[in-house]
Structures are given as structure tokens and as C-alpha cells.
Structure 1
Amino acid sequence: MLTKQLLTLITISVCVNLSFAQTQVADSIKKTDTHPPFYFDGYADVYYATYSESNKAGTIATNGVVGPKNNSLGLNILQLSGNYNNDDVRGKITLQVGDIPTQIWPAEYRFVQEAYVGARIGKKTWLDAGFFKTHIGAEILPGRYNMLSTIAMVTYNEPFFQGGLRLVQETNSKFNWGIHLLDGFNKFTKNTAIPALGVNGTYSINGKLQLTYTNLLSDEVLNNNFNLRFYNNFNVAYANKKWQLLFGLDVVTQQTNAYDISLKNYADVVIGSLLTIKHQTFKKIAFIIRPEYFYDRHGMLSTPINAQYNPADINHVAPYFLLTNTGTEKPDGYKTTGITIGAELKLHSEHYVRIETRYLNNFTNQKTYDNSWGVFSGTKTNQRIELVITTGLWFDK
């Protein structure tokens, strides 16, 4: 009943929506808010997706978030936000339905994307409390804010949401910053004695180049032991009339390997990166390419895989770490390279249609995908091909 009511409410207010804008972040710093004290904004995203790993319609793709259902037409997200701002207080609530929140949001808060209230404690400084979207990452959900609708493997393993307090300074100057006291890594509610602490800082140069650093220090409790994780994210965004570029690098360390307590003095590591390049070839048509890389040694962030490896190579950080086969089996995280090629058609400033094809390649011993093609059908493979078409529209009034 709640889902039907929410769908009816949002459908009355919004059409089908999408957008591009990862590098709009740099431009948004320069804009002045002209909204009335209370206003609504809405967004919707519809997709068709097909994956090489299954022929069955409706099957959820491995690590699927955007367009997760194979051979299906689906709804990524449908959301409606109510916003209130005056000189001293502000607040926001965003309700959502669709495949994206179903896949990654906790079940008890699946319909809530954001819900917070805040008070001004300085001329341009705010203290907010509640539920937020993550402050970490080069890409962010929903797809309206990115150059591509699909997200890179590194983004998939970043936190998507967070709950707690945030202290932010919002100015039109070159530098903006924030401090976050949170319930944990990708958590709305607290389950550890020690809260997570994160910061973010953004520096804009000439309105075209933007540098961003974010981090999160959290206690990932393992067997009732303190287990420190330090998540670092570096982003570089550049935009001019024809080109937009986004580079993201994540470096994550963890005090104890999550799946082998005997390695308690051993620091685990995750490295992930992406480079998205967009060229506005024609007035309404742009082309985008995104190479990506993700390396998770033992499944700290990604789903653990049982793979063969050489224990003598345990101190290696290089990507060749898990290429030997000695008969010793331990949990292993995803080690993946990939490339996405896409095209975007914008018929209106608040609308787009995108078509994207993506190729993912795990290390040779990480055969996590079902092969559905021809004589190879029914076998396991370390490669996957995706085709995702998305379209949408949003309003902001």
C-alpha cells in the first residue's frame, strides 16, 4: 500500500527523467540559490538493460545497481523531494522507489533517500542532522549527476548513504569544506561504539578545474575487535564548452583483513579508479568513454570470492597478486578492469537519453559470471558485456 501511494504521489508530479552532470559540480559552486523558501523537485529514470551473463528476463545482474534487471524494461528510480530554506533553518526529505533503492538501500529505509534538518551556526556555516547521501566518490547516485548512467566498480563499492551529523561551509568562493560525524560506513543507524569521522574539501580554479578530497575513518568491528578502516577519495573535474573530464581515485586501508583474523597485524588494501571523458560533439549529442580499475585484495569491500592464490605473495600490492594456483584457497576480492562507451542525447536541459555498452574483465581465476552465449552457455566466465539504455526528465521548482 505504501509503495502504491508513493508511486501515485510522485507520478502526479514528475515525468520520466534523467540527466548528465558530474562535472556540473564545479559550475554549481558559482550559482546563487533563487528558490523560494519551500519548493519541490522531482526526478525519474527508466531503463532497458541486457547482460551477457544470463538470457532469463528479470534476472538481477551480478553487482547490479543501475539497470540491474536483465532483458527487462524497468524503473531505476522515481523520487520527489521537499526542500525548505530560510536564513536560519533548512531541511530536506526525499522519498524514492525503484530498482536502485531496492538493490542498495537498507530495507527499513528503502523509501527514504535523504531526510535532514539543519541550523545556521555561522554566516555561511550549517550544522545538519539526519540521513544523507554519501560525501564520498567521483560518481553519485542517481544518474542525473553523472556523465554516464552506469557506475564504475569502484563506485559500486563506495558508501551510498550515511546518517549522523555534518558541519558544512557553503560559499561561492573557491574553497568549500565539510566535517561528518556518522553512524558508520554505509549505515543509517549506528552498530559500533565508535562513530565514523569524515571530511571533504573542494577547491575550484577558474571555474573550470575542481579538486576534491574526501575521507572516512570508521570502525569495522570484526569478532568484537576494533578494526580500523581509512577510506580516501581524490577527484579531479574539468569542464569547458566541448570537453568534460572526471578522474577519481580511491585508496582504502583496513587494519585487519576481514576474512582471516590470523592476519590481525596485516593492513589490507583496496585501490579503485575511473576516468570519464565526455565530448559535446554536436549541440544535442555527446559521446562518453570511461575506463575503470578495481583491486580488492581479500574482499574488504567487494563480495568475497574463493580463489586460488600463492600465500608467499600475500604482501604484494600489485595487480598480479592472485594469478598463481597452488591449491590453497582463501577469500578473494574482485580484481577488475573495464571500459564503458556511451552516447547521450539531450532534447532539453532537464532531459536526456543515454545508450551505454560496458565490458568488464576480472582476473582469469575470478569466473563470477554465468556465460549465456552459444556453445559456452551454462559455463562460468570472468568477462561480461552490458548494454544499458536510460532516459529521463526532472524538475526543480
Structure 2
Amino acid sequence: MKKIIAMAVAALFTTEYLQAQESPKIKVSGYLETYYGYDFNQPANNNRPGFIYSHNRHNEVNLNLGFIKANYDNDKVRANIALMAGTYTNANLAAEPGVLKNIFEANAGIRLSEKENLWLDAGIFSSHIGFESAISKDCWVLTRNISSENTPYYESGAKLSYSTTDGKLTAVLLYLNGWQTTQPSRWQQQTCRGSTAQL
């Protein structure tokens, strides 16, 4: 955790320096969401049921989600990186290895056409599935429901996107590593291994 905080501070100072050097293409933003929750079932270990990923600690004031994000866009190349911490991170990304548990977003893209708004991006993104987000302010209501908590909040892979100049039409073609994961799913790995074995 100390390494992540140090990296976030270093990124903030680096960005501050770059902005001071007349580079408005780099933007830094952040988000912080704290909560207090009380579960009348009073779980002994203070964890709410395992299918709840946001606001999942009982009888505690806690950080659900906090992140710092750097964004770069020069109209030909774009990139985003956001490092996060909180109980949402611990619960929702429990299966991710090591430092991947603290990556909220990490992607880069290149514009494929000078005239058209056609982009190829790869990395970790917010999910395109479902109508809720890990960011509570973007959700319809603060409290989550089972259907929302069981749709992915993040995805990884590559996407080809096109949008019209007036913004009325957007089309996206996705190649993803699986359901709510940053690495290829076990099913994909087994399928690939099986295909290799047959060759």
C-alpha cells in the first residue's frame, strides 16, 4: 500500500511539473468515496455477504473507492492510468495478482485515421456492460443491487471504436480477456492449451 501511495504522489508531482511546462494535454483528476455501513445481521468478521463488492464493511467508517488518474490526449495518441485503493478494490479485485488489484484504469490508444474518428485502444477499461459503475456518483442510486454487483465493473483487452463527427453514432468492436478480469480467463487458457495439444 505504501508503494502505491508513493507512486500516486510521484505521478502527481510529475504531472504538476509537466503542467507547469505548458502541457495542457495532460490532465490529473481524482475521486474519493467514504462510507459508514451497518448490517443488522451483525457479521462476526465485519464483512457483508460475499456477493457485495461496494460498501461491504459492517459498522466501520471506511474508504470504498479512492483513485488518482492521469489522462493524456494529443488527438493522435491517448492514454489513461488510474491507481485505486479501498474496500471495493479488496473485494472486487481479490482474484487479481499483486499490483493489478490497485489498477482502476490503464490503457493507451492510437488514432487510425486523420480524417475519421477511428481509434484502436488496448489495456484495462471501465466496463461497457450494465448500467452501474464502481464510481457511486455515476450510479442511479447509491445502494447497489445484486444484478448490478454481478455485472462487470471493469474489463481488459482491445477495442476498435468509431464515432461520427456529430457524436450521434458510436460503434465499438471489442476483444476481451474474459468476464471481470485483467488476464485471460481459465476457460480461454484451457481452450488454448487444448488447441495447442491437438496441433
Instruction: Indicate the residue corresponding to 1:110 in structure 2.
Output: 101
Measure how far apart 1:192 and its partner are. Answer: 5.3
Secondary structure, counterpart of 1:78 in structure 2: strand
Q: 1:191 aligns with which of 171, 180, 185?
A: 185
Secondary structure, counterpart of 2:38 in structure 1: strand
Instruction: Indicate the residue corresponding to 1:163 in structure 2.
Output: 156
Alpha-carbon separation, structure 2, partners of 1:193 and 1:68: 29
Matched, 1:92 2:80: yes
Instruction: Indicate the residue corresponding to 2:63 in structure 1.
Output: 75
Measure how far apart 1:11 and its partner are. Answer: 8.0
Contact 1:10 1:42 in 2 (8 A): no
Structure 1: give runs of 5+ residues left out of the alignment: 14-34, 196-219, 225-397
Instruction: Indicate the residue corresponding to 1:6 in structure 2.
Output: 4
Instruction: Give the total of aligned pairs.
Output: 174
Measure how far apart 1:68 and its partner are. Answer: 0.6
Instruction: Indicate the residue corresponding to 2:37 in structure 1.
Output: 49
TM-score normalised per structure 1 = 0.40
Instruction: Indicate the residue corresponding to 1:36 in structure 2.
Output: 24
Alpha-carbon separation, structure 2, partners of 1:111 and 1:158: 19
Alpha-carbon separation, structure 2, partners of 1:128 and 1:173: 19
CA shift digits 1:128-150 (9 cap, x unpaired): 01111211011111212113222
Measure how far apart 1:125 and its partner are. Answer: 1.4
Contact 2:179 2:185 in 1 (8 A): no
The one-letter code of the counterpart of 1:132 is F
CA shift digits 1:299-341 (9 cap, x unpaired): xxxxxxxxxxxxxxxxxxxxxxxxxxxxxxxxxxxxxxxxxxx
The one-letter code of the counterpart of 1:6 is I
The one-letter code of the counterpart of 1:141 is A
Matched, 1:152 2:140: no
Alpha-carbon separation, structure 2, partners of 1:183 and 1:107: 13
Instruction: Indicate the residue corresponding to 1:181 in structure 2.
Output: 175
Measure how far apart 1:87 and its partner are. Answer: 1.9
Contact 1:10 1:78 in 2 (8 A): no
Matched, 1:65 2:58: no
C-alpha distance 169-36 of structure 1, shift in aligned 2 (>3 A) = farther
The one-letter code of the counterpart of 1:157 is N
CA shift digits 1:55-110 (9 cap, x unpaired): 64x61111222211111110001100110101211001110000001101134211
Structure having greater relative contact order (Cα 8 Å, sep ≥ 6) = 1
Alpha-carbon separation, structure 2, partners of 1:45 and 1:114: 17
C-alpha distance 193-71 of structure 1, shift in aligned 2 (>3 A) = closer
Matched residues, percent identical? 24
C-alpha distance 74-10 of structure 1, shift in aligned 2 (>3 A) = farther
CA RMSD of aligned residues (A): 2.7
Measure how far apart 1:164 and its partner are. Answer: 0.8
Larger CA Rg, structure 1 vs 2 = 1
Alpha-carbon separation, structure 1, partners of 2:60 and 2:187: 43
The one-letter code of the counterpart of 1:37 is K
CA shift digits 1:340-382 (9 cap, x unpaired): xxxxxxxxxxxxxxxxxxxxxxxxxxxxxxxxxxxxxxxxxxx
The one-letter code of the counterpart of 1:97 is A
Alpha-carbon separation, structure 1, partners of 2:144 and 2:158: 27
C-alpha distance 11-54 of structure 1, shift in aligned 2 (>3 A) = farther
TM-score normalised per structure 2 = 0.77
